[in-house]
Amino acid sequence: MRATHLLPALLLHQLLLLPTAIPAAEGKGKKRNPLHDFKKTGELMLIKVNKTLEVKTKLLNTTEQCAKRCSRNKGLSFTCKAFAYDRVTKRCHWLSFNSLTNGVRKKQDHAFDLYEKKDYVRNCIIGKGADYKGTVSVTRSGIQCQAWNSMIPHEHSFLPSSYRGKDLRENYCRNPRGEEGGPWCFTTSPETRHEVCDIPLCSEVECMTCNGESYRGPMDHTETGKECQRWDLQRPHKHKFRPERLATGMMEMQFWLHPKPD
């Protein structure tokens, strides 16, 4: 069953039972928290094996400050894809890589929390997929994508330098203009100029049954398109459903979940 068919009922059920846990991250007159852009993994650090990968560190008081700099790439000579926060020393480590990057290994470390930009690590799209920055590089029919900085076999104007911020790297599927159909690419077949890629909607990655108590999928927007508030944040809406209080341990992000009321 598709998740989108059950979201209206789930919304109604949550609003009736959970009046303090409104699932929208947008509060009137309040700024959006940059942490909503990140997937959190507790007690994990990334170690670079490839020495060419870049890291920058600085003492900062909060993860929100780290997230803001990573989102804006402020003061960084590279595109920030993740950051690790040392809770003991209050030091932020901005990373030019994430857990999917070659030449990186994971290390369990109780002092660190890892925050990875969701656009780079999720394997599904929200809406038209304009923010998708994953690594799918094959079209729906199975044709390998042409590199964005290549003019062979198809000449085009979608150069990385012309679409800064759209991550037109290598030959990954992208939707730089936010067009209908989702991420696409020019193909390596002379007979097919371009084609959409087969990347599922996040709302369809995992189905829900009953009231969705066991749902653990990646959907983090409501049916009307509003972004969900992270479960580990108390802004803009205060609530009692904190990850550390629930035995499931699955409420790290702002994904749609349906916890049982106290």
Using one digit for the tens of pLDDT, what is the confidence trace for 129-176?
Answer: 999 999 999 999 999 999 999 999 999 999 999 998 899 999 999 999
User: For domain 3-121+207-245, which architecture applies?
Assistant: 3-Layer(bba) Sandwich (3.50)
From 136, 197, 193, select the one nearest 170 (Cα to Cα). 136
Three-state DSSP at 100 gives coil
How far is Cα 107 from Cα 116, in angstroms, rounded to an integer? 15
What are the angstrom distances between the C-alpha of 144 and each of 61, 130, 181, 189?
45, 20, 18, 8
Which pLDDT belongs to residue 76? 94
User: Residue 25 corresponds to which amino acid?
Assistant: A
Q: Any residues with CB less than 8 A from the CB of 23 and at least 6 apart, and which? A: 11, 14, 222, 226, 228, 229, 256
Which pLDDT belongs to residue 2? 41
Which pLDDT belongs to residue 227? 79
Which pLDDT belongs to residue 126? 87
- Tokens at 228, concatenated: 């969900």
User: Residue 82 corresponds to which amino acid?
Assistant: A
- Tokens at 150, concatenated: 């290549």
According to CATH, where is 2.40.20.10 located in the chain? 125-199
From first to last of the 262 residues of the chain, give the pLDDT tens digit.
444 444 444 443 443 344 333 454 444 556 889 999 999 999 999 999 999 999 999 999 999 999 999 999 989 999 999 999 999 999 999 999 999 999 999 999 999 999 999 999 988 998 899 999 999 999 999 999 999 999 999 999 999 999 988 999 999 999 999 999 999 999 999 999 999 999 999 888 765 555 666 666 666 777 777 878 888 887 788 888 777 666 554 444 544 444 444 4
Other beta carbons less than 10 A from residue 121's beta carbon: 18
According to CATH, where is 3.50.4.10 located in the chain? 3-121+207-245
User: What topology is assigned to 125-199 in CATH?
Assistant: Plasminogen Kringle 4 (2.40.20)
Which pLDDT belongs to residue 261? 44
How far is Cα 239 from Cα 224, in angstroms, rounded to an integer? 22
- Tokens at 257, concatenated: 């979940």
From 73, 76, 32, select the one nearest 54 (Cα to Cα). 76
Which pLDDT belongs to residue 214? 64
From 40, 3, 89, select the one nearest 233 (Cα to Cα). 40
Tell the residue number behind the tokens 């991550």, with chain if given: 167
Q: Any residues with CB less than 8 A from the CB of 208 and at least 6 apart, and which? A: 1, 3, 6, 10, 215, 217
Contact 82, 117 (CB under 8 A): yes
